[in-house]
Amino acid sequence: DTLWDLAIAEVQKRENPDDDGKRVEVCEKSVLFMGNKNGGKTTIILRCLEREEIPKPTLALEYTFGRRARRHNTPKDIAHFWELGGGTSLLELIRIPITSNNIRSFAVVLVLDLSKPNELWTTMEKLLQVTRNHVNKILTKLEKTNPEVATEIKQRMRNNLQRDHPDYELVDPFPIPLVIIGSKYDIFHEFDSEMRKIISKTLRFVSHYYGSSLVFTSKSETLLLKARALINHLAFGYDKSKSVSVDHSKPLFIPAGLDSLSQIGPPPASDSDIGKMHANTPLELWKKVFEKTFPPKSFCDLHDTKDPAQDLQYAEYEVDVMRAQKNQ
C-alpha cells in the first residue's frame, strides 16, 4: 500500500464505526473532590493521575486533568478534576464546576478524615447538602429545557440498586454519582474497636442511603489502589470492582449498590436510647446516635483561613509590588 492508501484507510476507519459498532469518540468526564481540610484530597488526585509531586495545600478551587486511552491507537479520554479547598468554608464555589452543560458526566468524591470523627458528620452534611441543592436546581431547569436528559440523570442514579433489592424504596440516592472516601485509615486503625465500629457502621449507612460507593484509604499503596479503582470508574468509565469488604476490623470497600440495611444493622445504640431520640427520617436517627458518641465540634473554617493573597506559593513579584503600592 502507498502512503495515500494507508491515509485513506485511516480516515475511513475514523469516520466509520469501529468493531464494536460504536464511534470512537473522546469521552469527557468531570469529578469534584471535596471534604475535610487537610483530609488528603490532593494526595488522592495525584495518585490517580500517577504524578510524583508533593501535595500543596489547596486554596479555594483548583483544577487539573488527566488523559487515558481506552485501547491502543484510540483518542484519549479526558477527565477534569476539580478540588474544593477550605473544608466547608467555601461552599459557594461548588456552583462553578457543576453546570447544566456537564451535569450528565459529573461525579463527586467526598473525602472524610477518619481521624477527626467529631468533624465528620458536620462536614459531610454541609458539603452534600449544598451540592445536592445546586444539582437539583440544575435538574429543575433541565426539566423545562431538556426533559430527556433530566429523566436520564434521575433514572441512572436509581439503577445503582436493582429493582428487586429489599432497600429499593428506602434509600434516597444522591442525584449524581458519589464516592465517599474515609482517609487516614492508619490513624483510625489505632482507635478503640467500639469507636471504629460506630464510625464504620454510620458511614456504611450514609453511603448506602445515598447510593454511593465507600472506601477507606491511607498512604498505603494497596488501599490507595482501591480508591483509585473507584475514581477511575467515575473519571474514565473503567469497569467497576466487584470485590466487597464489610469487616469493621479491616478497611471497608463497598461499591455502590452492594450493601444492604439488613447487613448494616440498626444504629449502634440501646433500644431505650433510640426510643428517646425523636427523628423523622432514618438518616436523622443515625445522625443523633453518631453525635451522641462524637459530639460535633463547633469549628469555623473561616477563622483559620489565611488571606490567600499572602500565600507564598502564589507569589508574583510584579503584582505584589503594585499591590503593596496600592495599600500604601
Condensed to tens digits (0 to 9), the pLDDT of residues 112-156 reads 988 888 888 888 988 999 998 998 888 888 888 888 888 888 787
With H, G, I as helix, E, B as strand and everything else as coil, classify residue 153. Answer: helix
Please tell me the pTM assigned to this model.
0.79
Can you list the positions of beta strands (E) in 126-252? 178-183, 213-216
Q: Write the pLDDT tens digit of every residue in 299-312.
A: 555 455 566 667 77
**Local structure of residue 106 (DSSP, 8 states):** E
Which pLDDT score is estimated for 180?
Answer: 92
Which amino acid does the sequence have at 160?
Answer: N
**Mean pLDDT for the stretch of residues 23-31:** 73
pLDDT-wise least confident of 89-103, 143-157, 236-250, 302-316: 302-316
Could you read off the pLDDT of 189-215 as tens digits, one per residue?
Answer: 888 888 888 899 999 999 998 888 898
The answer to whether the beta carbons of residues 145 and 130 sit under 8 Å apart is no
Distance CA 182, CA 123 (A): 12
DSSP 112: E
Going along the chain from its start, the domains and CATH numbers come out as 26-293 (3.40.50.300)
pLDDT digits (tens, 9 = 90+) for 251-288: 888 888 888 888 888 887 777 777 777 777 888 888 98
Distance CA 209, CA 125 (A): 13
Q: What pLDDT is stored for residue 229 in this prediction?
A: 81
The kind and range of the H/E element at 235 are helix 221-236
Residue 4, pLDDT above cutoff 70: yes
Residue whose cell numbers read 466509520: 16
The phi and psi torsions of 176 (rounded to 5 degrees) equal: -130, 160
The amino acid at residue 200 is S
- Predicted pLDDT at 302: 46
pLDDT number for residue 306: 62
Strand order of the β-sheet with 178-183 is 61-69, 76-84, 28-35, 106-113, 178-183, 213-216, 253-254
Extract the C-alpha cell encoding 305.
483561613
Q: Are 79 and 30 in contact (CB under 8 A)?
A: yes
Q: What is the pLDDT of residue 325?
A: 92
Looking at residue 17, its pLDDT comes to: 53
3-state secondary structure of 169: coil
**pLDDT value at 21 more than 50:** no
Question: Do the Cβ atoms of 232 and 215 come closer than 8 Å?
Answer: no
What does the pLDDT average to over 161-171?
Answer: 76
DSSP state of 302: T
DSSP class of residue 296 equals P
pLDDT of residue 299: 56
What amino acid is encoded at 126 in this protein? K
